[in-house]
């Protein structure tokens, strides 16, 4: 599993349930849901969000 770089702001993750690819903010302040199936992709933690999907890459 690839590691999310510390300086990343936006990353692409793949939903574990439907394989939808979605760009999310690393420090999301609210829960991020998959736009395709509604599955949780990230949970807010106050800092870097807890990513539930598969990290695909950094979005420049
Ligand atoms: Zn999904």
CA of 47 to the centre of ligand 1 (A): 24
- Which stretch of DSSP H or E encloses residue 58? strand 54-59
CA of 41 to the centre of ligand 1 (A): 8
Residues at Cβ < 5 Å from ligand 1 ion? 15, 17-18, 20, 34, 36-37, 39
Is pLDDT at 52 greater than 70 in this prediction? yes
Three-class DSSP category at 12: strand
Determine the average pLDDT of the residues in 2-13. 93
CA of 53 to the centre of ligand 1 (A): 9
Is pLDDT at 1 greater than 70 in this prediction? no
Q: How many CB atoms lie within 10 A of CB 43?
A: 13
pLDDT, tens digit (0-9, with 9 covering 90-100), for 10-48: 999 999 999 999 999 999 999 999 999 999 999 999 999
**How many angstroms separate the Cα of 56 from the Cα of each of 27, 40, 46, 60?**
16, 16, 22, 13
């Amino acid at each position: 599993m690839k590691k999310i770089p510390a300086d990343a702001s936006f990353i692409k993750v793949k939903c574990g349930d439907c394989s939808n690819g979605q760009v999310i903010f690393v420090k999301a302040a609210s829960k991020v849901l998959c736009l395709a199936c509604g599955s949780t992709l990230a949970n807010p933690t106050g800092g870097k969000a807890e990513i539930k999907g598969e990290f695909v890459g950094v979005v420049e």
